[in-house]
Structure 1
């Protein structure tokens, strides 16, 4: 059985995550290119403000919402893999932001979610036989994805800095 304070804490956590997932849905509609959108900002914010695990969940669902609103252009299995990558990157961002510092966390997450995740996606697309894959996919997506990642990550960090001592 939970105490009243524990119940309120759980309710606050679920409500905060739900609100951030809803904001991810709005960001999913702000497309930069294909399935590259402003959907992960709430996930990165959650990774710092709530916990790295919550951030990973919000970021993964944010990508899924973008994939849904884009019609799964790279197939469902590919987008599920990208959800996992988003969850890991947001988690790493949250851990680095709490244990090292925010600027280093922003740099690491931008590299992970930009060139590294593009490389993973290009390789995975080649393995599962998608027509758009490999070096062509990497070359076409690395710059817009890295820019979008940096925008999502830096804005999340700035918003976190504003709200870090306030309760949502």
Structure 2
């Protein structure tokens, strides 16, 4: 039972941290508003050639936003799945080892999904950031105490992505 209690606590901590980490901040809302204004000014006053050079940065920004949003969705969905699995583990009376194995499998799946998003990223900095997140999630999947890793280290990953993964 103590293993089940541990996974419940870890799942609740993870869901709470993710909910807080994935919410846009005032800074997040302000950044996109500043970019279109800056991009629109040269386009409106310049010939079509400068407008074309402004487009690639918007394409990259759009791809970055899409990649970051997809990673957020993957993390939130997998965290919800882990929380639901922890509730089911209580009903099924799984051993701590069985629970740990389920968490490892969930983390490995998540790392694969995040790695796929990293491959889509056009911005090299975003690609590196998301790839690093996938590597860190892989480390959790390989951890002998994946449940403990989930409650301690995992919660830092979405917080970092929220701070650094933006268009």
- TM range, smaller chain: 0.3 to 0.5
The alignment's TM-score, normalised by the length of structure 2, stands at 0.42
The structure with higher relative contact order (CA 8 Å, sep 6+) is 2
